[in-house]
Amino acid sequence: MTGSESEGRLGEEFFVPGTSSFAQFLAAHRPELLPMSPQLPPGVRAAPGRFPHGTTVLALAYRDGVMIAGDRRATMGNLIAQRDLEKVHPADDHTAVAFAGTVGLALDMIKLYQVELTHFEKIEGIPMTLNAKATRLAGMIRQNLGQAMQGLAVVPLLVGYDPSAPEGGRGRIFSFDVTGGPYEKSDFHAEGSGSPFAKGALKKLFHPRMSRREAASAALQALYDAADDDSATGGPDVNRRIFPLVSVITEEGFERLPETETEQLSREMVEQRRSRPDGPNATA
């Protein structure tokens, strides 16, 4: 800290006109505080199975907006590191982000991203557009490329409600690769080691005019299928009462489905799977 900061006063850098990006401000004045700053020496790779990793997250558009969900399991190699991890987080009132990958870096990146959006709105007086939010998150992922190449990758999934989009397409979904490349997805998408199985289930169950309950049921079915074939994905744990996190973003903003609603849908699904282990058929 500078002398003025140690005395409780802000440093001069806080009073110099500059960028509306909080991440760029940190990079210029406190780069060591960035979660994307290098943590491993050059040429060193993270040992497999030594850091908790989160896995399957998914999103799907539905009649009133967009839904985003994730399982709760984090793994370290063949070990279950955590059973109740939260992988879905609001970024602002009309945007949410979920993650697969290295848990510690992902949580720090999400916190920085939340501050980034709030900082921009306070400086500029208007919220970012959804396209700009995707671009900002892509930049953060790109800054983490060095660590991703060392085995500490973070792969987020971004969703938002865009009131400027045509009706029926206001729930938007963005995926990213480890280099920060953003890709807008239509209808649904999933990330993480269980994503191929989750996307297969969503392809079977999705239709564009789904109600909130139908969308939540489809999300839970997709996560169940992912857990059925991917050991790193956790299914509903009825005994411990640990169920996937499901959230929606509509014109009214971000809302996490109550645990009672998610539990009821999960228990109904588990009971249905007793007679139909492979899940429901595709909708007509």
In angstroms, the CA 73 to CA 157 distance is 17
SS3 sequence of the chain:
CCHHHHCCCCCHHHHCCCCCCHHHHHHHHCHHHCCCCCCCCCCCCCCCCCCCEECCEEEEEECCEEEEEECCCEEECCEEEECCCCCEEEEECCEEEEEEEEHHHHHHHHHHHHHHHHHHHHHHCCCCCHHHHHHHHHHHHHHCHHHHHCCCCEEEEEEEECCCCCCCCCEEEEEECCCCCEEEECCEEEECCCHHHHHHHHHHHCCCCCCHHHHHHHHHHHHHHHHHHCCCCCCCECCCCECCEEEEEECCEEEECCHHHHHHHHHHHHHHHHHCCCCCCCCC
In angstroms, the CA 42 to CA 157 distance is 28
In angstroms, the CA 38 to CA 4 distance is 28
Which residue type sits at 129?
A: T
Q: Which residues are catalytic?
A: 55
Rounded to 5 degrees, φ, ψ at 256 are -90, 130
Tokens of 143: 């800054």
Among residues 232, 226, 237, the alpha carbon closest in space to that of 263 is found at: 237
Tokens of 106: 């992902």
